[in-house]
Amino acid sequence: MRPFIKVLKALSDETRFRLLDLLLAKNLCGRALAKQLGISEAAVSQHLKILKEAGILEGEKRGYWIHYSIRKETLKEIAQGLERLAGRSAVPTGQCRRLHATEKGYEGKEVRAMCQCCCERPEKLKGKPGECTPEQVRDCHGDEKKHPCEGEKKEGK
Residues 61 and 109 in one domain: no
Burial class from Cβ neighbours inside 10 Å (0-12, 13-18, 19+) for residue 140 reads: buried
Identify the domain boundary among 47, 79, 111.
79
Residue 140, pLDDT > 90, answer: no
Residue (of 48, 93, 53, 54) closest to 68 by Cα position: 48
Together in a domain, 75 and 127: no
Q: What is the pLDDT of residues 66-118, one digit of tens each?
A: 999 999 999 999 999 888 878 765 555 555 666 656 666 666 655 555 554 44
The arrangement of strands across the sheet holding 65-70 comes to 28-29, 65-70, 57-62
Give domain status of residue 147, yes or no: no
- 45 lies in the same domain as 113: no
Range(s) of the domain holding residue 112: 97-141
Q: How many domains does the chain have?
A: 2
pTM above 0.85, yes or no: no
Pairing of strands 28-29, 57-62: unpaired
Q: CATH no. for residue 54?
A: 1.10.10.10
Cα–Cα separations (whole angstroms), residue 117 to 62, 80, 102, 138:
67, 37, 17, 14
Same domain, yes or no, for 36 and 69? yes
pLDDT at 110: 56
Residue type, 114: M
Q: Name the amino acid, one letter, at 12.
A: S
Q: Model confidence at 153, in pLDDT bands (50, 70, 90)?
A: very low
